[in-house]
Structures are given as C-alpha cells and as structure tokens.
A and B are shown apart, each in its own frame.
Chain A
Amino acid sequence: MADRQTRRRDEGYGRLYRGSREGQWSWVLHRVTGVVVILFLFAHVLDTAVVGWGPAAYDRVVSIYKNPVVQFLEWILVAAVLYHAFNGVRIMIVDFWPRAARRHRELSYGTIGVFVAVMIWVSIVMLPRVFR
C-alpha cells in the first residue's frame, strides 16, 4: 500500500486520494455521486418550491418525473444517494475507529456488497415503472 501512495501524481494539484486500489475507486465514486446529488438538489429545490404557486403549476412541474426516461434517471439518482450514503458510513468507520483502517479491503468489498444487495431490491421496485 505504501508504494502505491508514492505513485501519485505530484504536480501539486489534482491529488487524487490514492489509497488502496479498492479505496481509490470507492473514493472516486463517492466524489462523483456527491456532485451528482448536489447538482440534482439545485433543480429539486426549485421544482418543489413551485408548490407555493398552487396545484395547476405544481402538478405540471412534477409531471416531468412521471416520464419513463426521467424515471430511469431517478433510478440512477437513488443509486447515487445510496452508494454515497453507504460509502460515507465506511469513511466514518475508518476515521473514527483506527483498527478498521487495517481492514480497508474487506470494508470496501463489504460496502459494495451491501450496496449491490440493496440495489437489487431497489431495481425490482423501480425498474418496472420505467418499462411499464
């Protein structure tokens, strides 16, 4: 692990974490999902705010979410939130419980395992709505 850390880019910026191999991918995904969710949140605060303008306006805006293509994007959004949430828990376990840092690899695969298991259920619930 230590030699991986020395193989980082050393231009001075773009320091791209560089933990273990598993940790690295988990970290990239954590970053990407965090950005995806905050960008969606910008739009979501606006569409929800329309509720203050009454039923006609609000029902028109939320009808967007009932389009199958948008419902597929919604499935991706749910996946992003859940991955970010589970991986966030892993980050905190490693931060606050030093002994867990020796089990990086197991924790990473464990997080992916939990995520995949939950996503199977999420897909069974959500995807039929897309292809209905």
Chain B
Amino acid sequence: MAVDTEPSSEQSGHRADSLGTPLPRGVAGRARPARGGEFWWWLFMRVSGIVLLFLAVGHVLIMHLGGSGVERVNFGFVATRWQSPLWRTWDWLLLSLAILHGINGLRVITLDYVRRPGVRLTINGFFTIVGLVLFALGTIVVVTFDPSKWPGVIK
C-alpha cells in the first residue's frame, strides 16, 4: 500500500483552503481527487465498498444473525463450512478487501489529522505492516486448513 502522499490539492470547480485542500461541496464523503494515486484510492474505496456491501453484510447476516448467531460457532462449524470452496473464497475475499479498505481508510484519516510527515509515515507504515501480516496469516489459514487432521469433527 502506498504509505504516504500529500493531501490532494486539486479539485476543479471547488474552493480550497489556504493549503490548497478542497472544501467539500456536493459530496457526502471525501472530495474526489482529480488525478494520480489518490484518485485511484478514492475509487478503490467506492468499488471495494460495493463488494463489501455483499461480503461483509452477508457475513454479518449469516454468522451473527442467522441461527443462534455466534452461539453455534465452534471448530466443527467452521470445519464443515470450509468444506465448501464457496465459503473459503468468500472469507478470503472478505479478508483481503476489508484489510485493504480499512487500512487505506486509516491512511486517509491520517491525511486529515497528522500533518507532520515523519509521524504520518510511521503511523501508516505501522498499519501497513499489521495489514500485511494479518493478510498473510489469514490467507495461510484459510488455504491450508485441513480438518482431516482432527478426525470426527465433521458430522
């Protein structure tokens, strides 16, 4: 993930403050950066948001609201569920997109509140590493999980 950039200073047709930071008009979130990496991250947040709408809300409906919710979740439940490549793929996609979307979200927030470049780089570098480690760990587990190592758990 790109760790650091100056806040986007371009926004055609919008007024800007003394630092060239655009003021929001006619938007309900971050103003659309005109070009460059920040534009692509702006677009990514929206595209991943649409996908997460299905993956994350679906996950909440199934795991937290359906049946008895988390009450029924245990090793056997996960092992049975992950018999299906559909759920493994679903969970892996949710993992990847939520980490990218969430950590880029944190980066966007530091653009607003942390002005000192060194501090910002440190914070963003930290979260980037946390994200990479968790992504690697989650990927290894969801890909290599093999319940036949523990016979009898799948009914």
Contacts and interface: CB of A to CB of B under 8 A. Distances in A.
Interface of A: 2, 5, 8, 10, 12-19, 23, 26-27, 30-31, 34-35, 37-38, 41-42, 45-46, 48-49, 51-52, 54-55, 58-59, 62, 65-66, 71, 74, 78, 81-82, 85, 88-96, 98, 101, 104, 107-108, 122, 125-126, 129
A42 B134 contact: yes
B130 A49 contact: no
Contacts of B137: 45-46, 49
Q: Is the interface of B mostly helix, strand, loop or mixed?
A: helix
Interface in B17-37: 17-19, 21, 23-29, 32
A92 B134 contact: no
Contact of A31 (B79, B103, B109): B109
A88 B53 contact: yes
B115 A12 contact: yes
Given A55-B76, A66-B70, A95-B46, A15 B28 contact: no
Given A14-B113, A45-B138, A62 B149 contact: no
Interface residues of B, number: 56
Interface of B: 15, 17-19, 21, 23-29, 32, 46, 49-50, 52-53, 56-57, 60, 64-65, 68-71, 73-76, 78-79, 95, 98-99, 102-103, 105-106, 109, 112-115, 130, 134, 137-138, 140-141, 144-145, 149-150, 153
A90 to B, nearest CB: 6
Contacts of B64: 74, 78, 126
Contacts of A81: 56-57, 60
A51 B23 contact: no
B14 to A, nearest CB: 10
Contacts of A14: 112-113
